[in-house]
A and B are shown apart, each in its own frame.
Chain A
């Protein structure tokens, strides 16, 4: 176990409902870092959190924690009592002496900008307010390892944006290792020091977000991270591109030409799905702009290259 590692999962295997969800997963969480775990629905992200927190039985491998692990699970499940009483109850479960609880609860609620909710009944909170209290309850414990499972789900975009902007400061602690499970890639860039991608029951990518986005370790990871374009190059190489890595130009003036198959509207633009002789790409186009069936030139601005599989 690395000196800075606070949680180590080694060869972790978890079976649920007769199926293997995690299969030989290795992961080490280190002191001071905020790692974000991404993965498609059903990849086993929540299962990983439950296993790491010791809440479910594992079929194989080992979970080794240096210090105490606390998890804020998906969905802000609060008890039928006041907000303050919810946080203090969690401190009680954690073993914090009674005299210390009010002060710690107040400080945690203040950090999560939920101090004004302290005397409200938990059942009267909105989704955003409940999420803040849910976070405060976990942060108040000051665990050595903090696991947060999709803390921003079920929030409207405005509240999510507000919480995301604050989340980095809120959850980052030099003494703590933090793992945040997210479903939305864009949320990950806001808070992650380290990005983990869970595919096929294993960690398929592990590194700094910019490094992984710049050079995804596999075509599957690239596809998951939004490299939606796929071209087959000469020599058996595969080029994966994000929409932002392609621009449209006049036919014959770019790297290759293609025909627009479909236009997917976005608030201020559209994503054009373009068929070329080497494969399909997606490119962001202005609205109004080219229309379906139109021939466009495409200039490629980077992308990630992979060996084609036999």
Chain B
């Protein structure tokens, strides 16, 4: 019990006093998660919108793939990416070996993006599908072209889109398994992996607890943002009906 109390006390002290190592890790985490969330957003939002608005077979297949992507095991994603990025050697290299990303932050960004992308796209698709079909068809009847339709759908599904981006960010900052595989030389690159590395190195030390505390605080912020948006969306739905 005293180890937990000591760890908490020392961890809070590191947070409050602005420990450089801790804040360096926070900065890394936000930077890497920010980049992967940005890429997942740039790709996932249009993809989700396209999948939701189209009624063709290809759209249905993409929705199916996105739904499957929600359950991707991070370690498996890490292993696949590791194989793809494995550098040239006497056993050959992976198809992405030329990028030279293995064990770099780029590999971590890629792993986080692969995990966040289907989540963002699937949640956006769900939000866009919930936009009343009558409104979309009405817009078409008044001359709206596909891009305008997509803009309308995204605007109507705005709370879901923002929620999807936040969820993507939450996934990015939480990933451990994939990062340890593709960035094993950078085990202190993010809060999640640094907490684990610190723990493995010396038990419940102050840095592990501090990393964990900040990570939890970020989770609470993301969850609060998503919940707040969800409530706004529910209120709108009740109003419309």
If A92-B148, A93-B148, A123-B236 touch, does A77 touch B142 (CB 8 Å cutoff)? no
Q: In whole angstroms, what is the CA distance A141 to B144 when docked?
A: 12
Shortest Cβ distance from B108 into chain A, in angstroms?
Answer: 38
B residues 121-179 near A (Cβ < 8 Å) are 132, 134-135, 137-145, 148, 152, 155-156
B239 interface residue per 8 A CB criterion: yes
B155: contacting residue among A71, A72, A77, A79, CB under 8 A: A79
B240 interface residue per 8 A CB criterion: yes
B143 contacts A70, CB within 8 Å? yes
B residues 217-241 near A (Cβ < 8 Å) are 236, 239-240
B143: contacting residue among A73, A93, A124, CB under 8 A: A93
If A68-B143, A93-B145 touch, does A73 touch B236 (CB 8 Å cutoff)? no
B239 contacts A124, CB within 8 Å? yes
B138: chain A residues within 8 A (beta carbon) = 72-73, 77
B142: chain A residues within 8 A (beta carbon) = 70-72, 90, 93-94, 137-138, 141
Q: In whole angstroms, what is the CA distance A105 to B148 when docked?
A: 19
Nearest chain-B residue to A122 (Cβ)? B240
Q: In whole angstroms, what is the CA distance A179 to B132 when docked?
A: 25
Nearest chain-A residue to B238 (Cβ)? A123
A78: chain B residues within 8 A (beta carbon) = 135
B156: chain A residues within 8 A (beta carbon) = 79-80
A95 interface residue per 8 A CB criterion: yes
Q: In whole angstroms, what is the CA distance A147 to B152 when docked?
A: 22
Q: In whole angstroms, what is the CA distance A79 to B137 when docked?
A: 12
B135: contacting residue among A70, A77, A92, CB under 8 A: A77
A89 interface residue per 8 A CB criterion: yes
Number of A-B contacts (CB under 8 A): 57
Q: Give the most central of B143, B236, B240: most A CB within 10 Å.
A: B143
Q: In whole angstroms, what is the CA distance A78 to B137 when docked?
A: 11
A75 interface residue per 8 A CB criterion: yes
Nearest chain-B residue to A75 (Cβ)? B134
Nearest chain-B residue to A74 (Cβ)? B134
If A79-B155, A79-B156 touch, does A70 touch B134 (CB 8 Å cutoff)? no
A35 interface residue per 8 A CB criterion: no
A68: chain B residues within 8 A (beta carbon) = 143
A residues 46-91 near B (Cβ < 8 Å) are 53, 55, 68, 70-73, 75, 77-81, 89-90
A53 contacts B141, CB within 8 Å? yes
Q: In whole angstroms, what is the CA distance A80 to B143 when docked?
A: 19
Nearest chain-A residue to B235 (Cβ)? A123
A79 contacts B152, CB within 8 Å? yes
Shortest Cβ distance from A34 into chain B, in angstroms?
Answer: 19
A123 contacts B135, CB within 8 Å? no
A71: chain B residues within 8 A (beta carbon) = 141-142
Nearest chain-B residue to A140 (Cβ)? B142
A73 contacts B141, CB within 8 Å? yes
If A75-B134, A92-B148 touch, does A70 touch B141 (CB 8 Å cutoff)? yes
If A77-B134, A89-B152 touch, does A123 touch B145 (CB 8 Å cutoff)? no
Q: In whole angstroms, what is the CA distance A233 to B156 when docked?
A: 62
A81: chain B residues within 8 A (beta carbon) = 155
Nearest chain-B residue to A89 (Cβ)? B152
Shortest Cβ distance from A88 into chain B, in angstroms?
Answer: 12
B132 contacts A77, CB within 8 Å? yes
Shortest Cβ distance from B185 into chain A, in angstroms?
Answer: 49
A94 contacts B141, CB within 8 Å? no
Q: Which 10 A-B residue pairs are closest in the complex by CB-CB distance? A: A93-B144, A71-B141, A77-B134, A77-B135, A123-B239, A77-B138, A94-B143, A93-B143, A90-B142, A53-B141
Interface residues of A (CB under 8 A from B): 53, 55, 68, 70-73, 75, 77-81, 89-90, 92-95, 123-124, 137-138, 141, 147
Q: Could you write out 19 A-B pairs with CB less than 8 Å apart?
A: A53-B141, A55-B141, A70-B142, A70-B143, A73-B134, A73-B137, A75-B134, A77-B137, A78-B135, A79-B139, A79-B152, A79-B156, A80-B155, A80-B236, A92-B148, A93-B145, A123-B240, A137-B142, A141-B142
